[in-house]
Amino acid sequence: MRVRGGAAFRYNRAFFRSHPVTVPFHPVRYAASRPWAKRVAHLFEHGGKTAVADCDALLLRTLQAAPGGAGQDVARQEAEGLLAQAYGHFVRHARQLLQCDAALGTALAATHPPKALPPAPTLPLAACFIPLPDGCGAYVRTDEEGAWQVLVLAAGFAQGNSAWWQQNAEVLALTLRGGDSLQLPDIPAVQPWRAALLSLFNHLALLTQPRCQLAAAISPAEQADALRRGELPARLLSWDGELVQSAAYGKEGYWRRQAAGGAERLVWVPPR
């Protein structure tokens, strides 16, 4: 697991809901706060293989002209570049926001995260955004080499009425590959994100499960209507099977490794 970035925020703890189905979350706030967001979306929807390079060039020109010298800060340039690319891939792949239904979200929160990824994990979507506890969230995509590129954002991202250059834009970037350990390193950059990362690892493992069901996407017309209202349509995740409903489980859920056809996969054992 490769880690870049860091942040220190006071998180908003009122989040983990399965309704309403449309959620004004980080990607919507990014689009509202960054004047270049529409151009980034256009580049990734229509720019083909040059989208990343064109996006980098766009940001370089834009940040250099930012008020107060905000765009001259190297860390800020890197953060805005990561944000733009994550948002661009998210748009390119139909703005997929995934959210657990109430039963699955409760059970997953009571599950100890896996210690490592299976050797060859696959995701059902090329790119998506996953809301996490404490108001955090993560962009996730599969790159050309099959690695998972993850960008984690905190609850306070792009909130309030101040201009983008007056807001904190620190992020945490991860690269995850098959077989990677998911044991969090004891370094300052990771500690403020610990709860969000542990939840993220559970979500990623869940998406590899055959019994994890993903609700059908809404039509492009319905999505466009929601986006005009400043909302982001969510696709609910559910579990094909009975989950124990409990505010205090007697036994925590966990992940076990299982050989299957000469390979190894993770199997979720829900809490009881």
Q: Tell me: the pLDDT tens digits for 183-194?
A: 998 888 888 899
Q: Identify the helix (H) or strand (E) that includes residue 157.
A: none
| Residue 169 or 179, more confident | 179
Which pLDDT belongs to residue 3?
60
Residue 53's pLDDT is 95
Q: Which one, of 20, 22, 41, lies nearest residue 32 by Cα?
A: 41
Structure tokens at 232: 């982001």
Q: 263-269 and 254-260 as β-strands: parallel, antiparallel, unpaired?
A: antiparallel
Whether pLDDT at 159 is above 90 = no
Domain boundaries, the chain: 2-24+94-241+248-269
- For residue 222, the Cα-to-chain-centroid distance in whole angstroms is 23
Cβ-contact 255, 111 below 8 angstroms: yes
When mean pLDDT is compared across 19-23, 226-230, 257-261, the lowest value belongs to 19-23
CB 154, CB 169: distance < 8 Å: no
User: Bridge partners of 142?
Assistant: 148
Question: Is 121's pLDDT higher than 90?
Answer: no
Query: Which has more confidence, 13 or 29?
Result: 29
- Residue 122 has what pLDDT? 86
Q: What is the pLDDT of residues 173-221, one digit of tens each?
A: 999 999 999 999 888 888 889 999 999 999 999 999 999 999 987 887 8
Identify the CA nearest to 43 among candidates 87, 95, 96, 97: 87
Buried/exposed code over 107-134 (b: 16+ C-beta within 10 A; e: otherwise) = bbbbbebbebbbeebeeebebbbbbbbb
pLDDT at position 185: 86
- Tell me the pLDDT band of 6, cut-offs 50, 70 and 90: very low
| Percent with pLDDT over 90 in the chain | 55
Please tell me the pTM assigned to this model: 0.86
Q: Compare 140 and 9 and report the one with higher pLDDT.
A: 140
pLDDT score recorded for residue 43: 96
Residue 216 or residue 126, greater confidence: 126
Q: What is the pLDDT of residue 4?
A: 62
Phi and psi based region of residue 45 (left: phi greater than 0; alpha: psi -120 to 50; beta: remaining): alpha
- Per-residue model confidence (pLDDT) at position 164: 86
Residues 6+ apart with CB under 8 A from 72: 63, 64, 66
Digit-coded pLDDT (tens) for 59-100: 999 988 888 776 778 888 899 999 999 999 999 998 999 999
pLDDT, the chain, mean: 85
pLDDT of residue 23: 44
Q: Is the pLDDT of residue 13 over 70?
A: no
